[in-house]
Amino acid sequence: MTDAFTRNDTSILGKWWWTIDKYILIVIGLLFLVGSVLILASGPPAAYRIGADSFHFVRKQFYFIPLCFLIIFSFAFINPLWLKRLSVIFLGFAFFLTMLTILFGQENNGAKRWIRVLSFSLQPSEFIKPFIVIFTAWMLSIQYEDKNFPGVSISLIILGLVCFTLTLQPDIGMSLLMISVWCSQLFIFGIPIIFFTISTLILLILSVVTYLTFPHVASRVDRFLDPLSGDNYQINQAILAFNNGGIFGRGPGEGRVKETLPDAHTDFIFAVAGEEFGFWLCIFIIFLFCFLSIRAFIRIFNETNIFVVMSITGLVVQISMQALINMASSLHMIPTKGMTLPFISYGGSSMISTAICIGILLSLTRKNIVTEI
């Protein structure tokens, strides 16, 4: 008993504790704490607008936080061999559920992305995100060792099927996010510069085609380039929130824009942080995401296992890009995109998906982990 959680503790839990990256764990705890405070601020007005009790969203979010920590700790115990196996199973299951949403899903704002499970709305496409990263890293790592194995082709086919399905929902933003993550892993894998150039050109062409094909995408881009061309109510309210907050904010619970901003608890929760706590909390949130990314990359500086390197790269790019898109949208630096702020925004599916990413990240950044195939 005296050796519990000491360096002499040889139990599974003891070994895990002394090999886990505690700095990443602390950052995740701080992000969840910030998210809890902001949900307490933005949740009641959002619940009032739909006629629910004041703590409707707060209560649901607080149900998911313990579940997310359980998921993080569970995945942090899994070794790379089992991560590869589970990635195939969970990726296939999540893809199947995503296809079901197209047929039987709930339609919201013209998109079918959610399916009803008991009293919760589930977004299956969120669960594709962590596992397609691991699957891609696995395929590329095999080709890295065996040049005859078509790892790039297999991962590209799977990515194409996923993006095609997401386009049918439609969810263009998530498709572009997954493509960007795949490109980052391919960059680490090592490809000729001509291939990378061609891929970039194809991505630009697809962006133009998307703009011409989907009216809601064209509308968001047009309103970003010319604010007078359409309704910019949400972004105008978000900018007003930042202006009201200034450096130190109006104080906890004193924000007013959240009462009229429809997505204050989800896509625009960063604006709530800016109004109630000011510039300093926004910078602190950015610092936490930057620290998380840098810390993860530091842990793999001397890593020789290409699967681990590409997996961590994909997971970090995914989380950081999603955070960047959310914050940049709130600040009107890019066209608005319905994407949550990881760990902070309301949304059970997004929180669980991000928790899986962090659990895998903690597993792969452990010291002296077993990485045999």
- In tens, the pLDDT along 135-193 reads 999 999 999 988 889 988 999 999 999 988 888 887 888 888 898 899 889 888 887 77
pLDDT of 372 above 50 = no
- At 373 the pLDDT is 43
- At 119 the pLDDT is 66
Determine the average pLDDT of the residues in 68-88. Answer: 91
Q: Which helix (H) or strand (E) holds 112?
A: strand 111-117
pLDDT of 371 above 70 = no
Token pair for residue 150?
């078509």
- At 368 the pLDDT is 59
Burial class of 265 by CB neighbour count within 10 A (0 to 12, 13 to 18, 19+): buried
- At 258 the pLDDT is 85
Q: How far apart are CA 248 and CA 237, in angstroms?
A: 19
- For residue 110, what pLDDT band results from cuts at 50, 70 and 90? low
CA distances from 66 to 36, 55, 145, 189, 288 (A): 12, 17, 40, 36, 21
For the chain, helix, strand, coil in percent to 5 are 70, 5, 25
- Tens-digit pLDDT profile for residues 46-60: 888 887 888 888 888
Angle at 239 between CA 237 and CA 245, to 5 degrees: 100
Average pLDDT of the chain, as a whole number? 85
- For residue 12, what pLDDT band results from cuts at 50, 70 and 90? low
Q: Provide, rounded to the nearest whole percent, the portion of the chain with pLDDT above 70.
A: 91
116: β partners: 121
- Tens-digit pLDDT profile for residues 119-129: 677 888 899 99
- For residue 6, what pLDDT band results from cuts at 50, 70 and 90? low
Amino acid at 187: F
Residue partners of 142: CB distance under 8 A and separation at least 6: 149, 151
- At 10 the pLDDT is 61
3-state secondary structure of 114: strand
- Tens-digit pLDDT profile for residues 341-358: 999 998 888 899 999 999
- At 220 the pLDDT is 81
Q: How far apart are CA 339 and CA 285, in angstroms?
A: 16
Determine the average pLDDT of the residues in 25-47. Answer: 91
- Tokens 């530091």 identify what position? 298
Q: Give Cα 196 distance to the centre of its chain.
A: 24
72-81, 186-195, 363-372: lowest mean pLDDT where?
363-372
Token pair for residue 278?
């000011």
pTM of the model: 0.89
- For residue 326, what pLDDT band results from cuts at 50, 70 and 90? very high
Residue partners of 128: CB distance under 8 A and separation at least 6: 91, 94, 95, 98, 162, 178
Cross-sheet strand order for the sheet of 120-122: 106-108, 111-117, 120-122
- At 370 the pLDDT is 47
Q: How far apart are CA 78 and CA 255, in angstroms?
A: 43
Reduce the secondary structure of 299-319 to three states and give it as a string: HCCCCCCHHHHHHHHHHHHHH
Determine the average pLDDT of the residues in 253-275. Answer: 87
Q: How far apart are CA 298 and CA 303, in angstroms?
A: 10
**158 vs 9, which has greater pLDDT?**
158
Q: Are 272 and 258 in contact (CB under 8 A)?
A: yes
CA atoms within 13 A on the CB side of 171: 25
**4 vs 314, which has greater pLDDT?**
314
Q: Provide, rounded to the nearest whole percent, the portion of the chain with pLDDT above 90.
A: 39
Note the residue count of the chain. 373
Name the residue among 303, 301, 296, 299 with its Cα closest to residue 320.
296
pLDDT of 66 above 60 = yes
Token pair for residue 180?
């960007």
First to last CA, the chain: 35
- At 369 the pLDDT is 54
Determine the average pLDDT of the residues in 88-110. Answer: 83
